[in-house]
Structure 1
Amino acid sequence: MSVSGTGDWPLAWGTPVGTARIAVSPEDFQVDERLGFAPTGDGPHLLVRIRKRGLTTQQAVQQLAGQWQVERRAMGYAGRKDRQAVTTQWLSVPWPVNAPLAPLGRLVDQDGQALDVIDVQRHRRKLPVGALTGNRFTLTLRDVDAAPRDIAARLVTIARHGVPNYFGGQRFGRHGQNLDRALNWLAGGERPRSRNDRSMLISAARSAMFNAVLARRIDAGDWSQPRPGDLLVLDGRGSLFAAEAAETAFNRRRAAGLRIHPTGPLPGATNRRQPQTAALIERESAVLQDWAAVIQALADQRVTADRRALRLSVGALAGWRMAPGTWRLRFELTRGAYATMVIRELVEAVND
């Protein structure tokens, strides 16, 4: 049950059309966070938009806390962003209501690590994890070995039909270490080192089970099509509803338009707000039968079961050739989605 990468997960649209080098430099992987709401303009917090390069979100938070002399635990962020990338994101910082706004500009710590503060506005609340609506990506693919017409055709397929909403390999840690640690802990082994570590290990275990169910449905050919008894979700939303047999044709039309998606499990204790049909329970239990002890251990940890869309719609997708062997892609994804899952349906990464 160890996961070390994405190679074993089936693809939806066949063999990649070629090869390419991905994220050769941080500038090749740019991410812009979208909150989906405006700062309130008043209150005891600042919403601070930063641009970072070569820093994790946690490192950026720590750097800002140290330089502005604020309590680290009182700060907030909506989502974590990759280190090996150029990313913009919002942080919340506790700030006296009568104090002037913090200044814009570059902050450099004693180790020479820099981040840019590019916007500061007042806000009434601490920014909670998950408050973002999604992310906008600008990716540069280098040393592309693929016919331009094949790339263009595959991009059309991805835009029209979406891609499997797998959790990316980074969720499981380097060489699957997070998942291995999670399975060891849930079997009675070494406990997590902190609350954040516990959350990371739980996520790794649940993500692996979700990916297993998604992979089985891709093999079955119905990962994007509602089946009677499925729990469905509206695109970009969180509320679930059951796929009724009488509405099969209607739901398939909606799914074809990327308006709804079947969902898969994030296992844990039974969630009474998400009643499931006997058919769905039987189908997913058959895939996860070897994980029964892990699921029970998660329930014992009071982790509540949840659901996640099996399919990921790729918004505003555009791709163009910058020069021979170099392509640039732009697209938008909902929160919690992985840009690498879009790329793997297009080209095979051959980074050294």
Structure 2
Amino acid sequence: MSEPTAGLTGPISPITPVNAWGAPLGQARVAASPADFQVTEVLGYRADGEGPHLLVEIEKCGLSTADAMQQLARAWDCPRREMGYAGRKDRQAVTRQWLSVPWPVNAALPETGPIGEGLVVLSVERHRRKLRIGALQGNRFRLTLREASLDPRAVSSRLARVARCGVPNYFGPQRFGRGGRNLSAAVDWLTGGRRPRGRSDRSMQLSALRSEVFNRVLAARVLDGSWNQAIADDLMVLDGRGSLFPASEEPADSLARRMAGLHVHATGPLPGRRADALRLPAALADWEDKQTPCLAAAVDGLTAQGLDAARRALRLSVGELAWAWPAPQTLVITCRLPRGAYATTVLRELVTWSAPE
């Protein structure tokens, strides 16, 4: 791996991710309407059929996940704080996701159907426990790109490569807030400035800082060509799982075959306390630290906030990828991504895109 590259440090704002497969092929509009950005959450398990909670599938449009939960809590007269969700979904989209709602065991199930503006309850079943954040397999996406100034042959070639080789697993711009304000607020807070107003703001700011550290390390590895390779000091992760193991523990030829098949990936840092428990080789830890000198003081402050250090795959495997041109300059892309992955990360390897505010 190379030494820190000019342009990856400087002002404390989210970096522009570095593309792996070349410059964008053209321009397009993404999410021109909510129906152009459709997301379906995949839990990977069924409702228990009994218990003091409901597992509720909803479809929302023009609402954040928090808005939808508040609207449902009012309609069903249930405590909002005791509801659960597996993942947040975009406001400017048509999204299907699952919520858990506390419900008396002897009470009749509530009816399905519309609940106010932009919210429909699709199904209701009993469940034993509250949904926890991250308790899902992933999400399916249907993305419609309009005014797409793209050569269909070039698109097919680029997307075939994405399906075969994956893309850098950047956190998307949603992670940092409008204009990067969550990241700026996190750096200010953790270097002695204004504290977050509440638990939600605190969580978003900590996530933004950790995500920026990861994105900067990943960008450096894309630049030097090592993001989709295993080097001797790497900690590897199984695709779609959290199990880590040192690259040095597997024969190089075996590891190379599994890397080529997208079965394992090298990882990057999500900083926090107890980093020693990850047993990261000193040389790799030192190199990763050198990619984010402007964030070092904030990262030092982060370790006191109770989040344990973790690792995230540098590469994203894009499942079930397909595309079609239903009309001139209109491209529809469908795919399945694991939890924590961003569809915008896939799009940036194809087009320069704009979305409505």
TM-score range, shorter chain: over 0.9
Could you list the runs of 5+ residues in structure 1 that have no partner in the other structure?
Answer: none
Secondary structure in structure 1 of the residue aligned to 2:28: strand
The partner residue of 2:153 within 124, 149, 153 is 149
The CA distance in 2 between the partners of 1:92 and 1:246, in whole Å, is 42
Is 1:241 equivalent to 2:245 in the alignment? yes
TM-score, length-normalised on structure 1?
A: 0.96
Is contact 2:139–2:337 with CA below 8 Å preserved after alignment?
yes
The partner residue of 1:60 within 68, 85, 93 is 68
Residue type of the alignment partner of 1:136: R
Residue type of the alignment partner of 1:270: R
Q: Deviations over 1:37-86 (max 9, x none)?
A: 11100000000000000000000000000010000001000000000000
Q: Report the CA distance between 1:314 and its aligned residue.
A: 0.3
2:289 matched residue in structure 1: 285
1:199 matched residue in structure 2: 203
1:19 matched residue in structure 2: 27
Mapping for residues 184-195 of structure 1, pairs under 5 Å? 184-195=188-199
How many residues are aligned here?
346
The CA distance in 2 between the partners of 1:351 and 1:133, in whole Å, is 27
Q: Deviations over 1:227-279 (max 9, x none)?
A: 11100000000111100176222212111110000000011123343111122
The CA distance in 2 between the partners of 1:120 and 1:263, in whole Å, is 38
The partner residue of 2:58 within 31, 42, 50 is 50
Is contact 1:132–1:335 with CA below 8 Å preserved after alignment?
yes
The partner residue of 2:334 within 330, 333, 337 is 330
The CA distance in 2 between the partners of 1:228 and 1:13, in whole Å, is 24
Secondary structure in structure 2 of the residue aligned to 1:118: strand
Is contact 1:229–1:245 with CA below 8 Å preserved after alignment?
no
1:3 matched residue in structure 2: 13
Q: Report the CA distance between 1:100 and its aligned residue.
A: 1.1
Q: Deviations over 1:200-246 (max 9, x none)?
A: 10001111110000000001101011111100000000111100176
The CA distance in 2 between the partners of 1:320 and 1:241, in whole Å, is 39
The partner residue of 1:305 within 287, 309, 316 is 309
The partner residue of 1:343 within 317, 341, 347 is 347
1:262 matched residue in structure 2: 266
Equivalent pairs: percent with the same residue? 55
Residue 292 to residue 325, structure 1, CA distance change in 2 (3 Å): same
Is contact 1:228–1:245 with CA below 8 Å preserved after alignment?
no
The CA distance in 1 between the partners of 2:250 and 2:240, in whole Å, is 25
TM-score, length-normalised on structure 2?
A: 0.94
1:115 matched residue in structure 2: 119
The CA distance in 2 between the partners of 1:95 and 1:76, in whole Å, is 12
Is contact 2:12–2:294 with CA below 8 Å preserved after alignment?
no
RMSD across aligned C-alpha pairs, in angstroms? 1.2
The CA distance in 2 between the partners of 1:334 and 1:178, in whole Å, is 24
Q: Report the CA distance between 1:286 and its aligned residue.
A: 1.8
The CA distance in 2 between the partners of 1:171 and 1:2, in whole Å, is 15
Secondary structure in structure 2 of the residue aligned to 1:244: helix
